[in-house]
Amino acid sequence: MDLTDAKIVVIGGAGLVGSHIVDQLTLEPVREIIVYDNFVRGTRANLEQAIKDPRVRVVEASMLDRETLRRELHGAAGVFLLASLWLGECVNDPRSAWEVNVMGSWNVVEACRDLGIQRIVYSSSASVYGNALYTPMTEEHPFNNRTTYGATKIAIEQMFRAIYEQHKLPFVGYRYMNIYGPRMDYKGTYVSVIMKVLDKIFAGEPPVIYGDGTQVYDFIYVSDVAEANILGMKSDCADEFFNIGSGVGTSINELVDILLELTGSKLKPTYLPQAQSFVTHRIGSTDKARDLLGFEARTPLVEGLRRLLEWRRSQLKTG
């Protein structure tokens, strides 16, 4: 799809990934960028630079607000759908998980169908796979999920499949691996292990590793994820799901070692029993995204963590 003079709506545009998509959209020849977010997790601070662009307009509203949603989607060419409750929130409030994630997404899909939106880029999750039965996981890996969050993502993926079959509404869906980078949540209940480790180091306390630290994940830098989203909006392929990751596995032990080295810390990690773990091993194949979208992650883990560290230090300085 050609983005020239297009109106683009980013639903969940104030969050980690969404705000970086908005930043990159300001570099494109679009006419208007609507950031649609209820600011439950996203923040206005994430949009500090983007809102300086006169093409960017922020709408504070929920996907459950059908009237506002349809009004803001009117005249749009493309929609990025990122908004959803996260894994921990879905554990604590499964009813809201189904209402917000599934019915909220249906409100978006239904409106896009009725309004003739040209293209949707949907943010799914590697949670649909659960623990890897083999690695690297291709997009044909079975749905081995056992979480409410992952179940809602599977349901929405099937929703997109069905609406494409019936109405040919073009979409691509992204199954993200472990995203990290500036603007990560460091205040909520379910904070990334990276931010927890950094906060311990900054406090002069040993970082805590739950389990033996051999859990392996595929980490991908947030700007690379945003680039993948822009490529997906520009692409011509439809009715496809893609892994979005680096294709490289990193253990928690290795991750903590890198963070200790980058901070110059001599602290040694403390190991505690692992109370609960949803996934302990996950690496995604990147072949399909490379072949059909032309996407490959470009940011090495050490460089990405260095940038994250600089951002976190700036946050601490500003209070």
How many Å apart are CA 21 and CA 31, to the nearest integer?
Answer: 15
In a domain, 316, yes or no: no
Question: DSSP strand E in 49-204: where?
Answer: 56-60, 78-81, 119-123, 171-176, 178-180
The percent of residues above 90 in pLDDT, for the chain, comes to 91
In a domain, 117, yes or no: yes
How many Å apart are CA 26 and CA 120, to the nearest integer?
Answer: 18
CATH code of the domain covering residue 72 = 3.40.50.720
How many Å apart are CA 171 and CA 193, to the nearest integer?
Answer: 32
pLDDT at position 188: 54
pLDDT at position 189: 46
In a domain, 303, yes or no: no
CA 119 to chain centre: 18
Question: DSSP strand E in the chain: where?
Answer: 7-11, 32-37, 56-60, 78-81, 119-123, 171-176, 178-180, 208-210, 216-221, 240-244, 249-251, 270-272, 281-282
In a domain, 69, yes or no: yes
∠ CA 154-38-89 to the nearest 5 degrees?
45
Residues 26, 50: contact at Cβ < 8 Å? yes
Q: How many domains does the chain have?
A: 1
| Regions in the chain scoring below 70 on pLDDT | 187-191, 276-278, 319
pLDDT at position 267: 97
Q: Which amino acid is at 132?
A: A
pLDDT in tens, 165-207: 999 999 999 999 999 999 998 765 455 889 999 999 999 999 9
In a domain, 309, yes or no: no
**Where in the sequence is the domain holding 98, given as residue range(s)?**
7-177+221-245+283-298
Q: What is the DSSP string of 231-268?
A: HHHH----SEEEEES-S-EEEHHHHHHHHHHHHT----
Q: Which two tokens stand for residue 179?
A: 């995203």
Which residue's entry shows tokens 């609507």?
34
In a domain, 185, yes or no: no
Which residue's entry shows tokens 């459950």?
64
In a domain, 106, yes or no: yes
pTM: 0.96
In a domain, 141, yes or no: yes
If one counts every other C-beta atom within 10 angstroms of the C-beta of residue 119, the result is 23
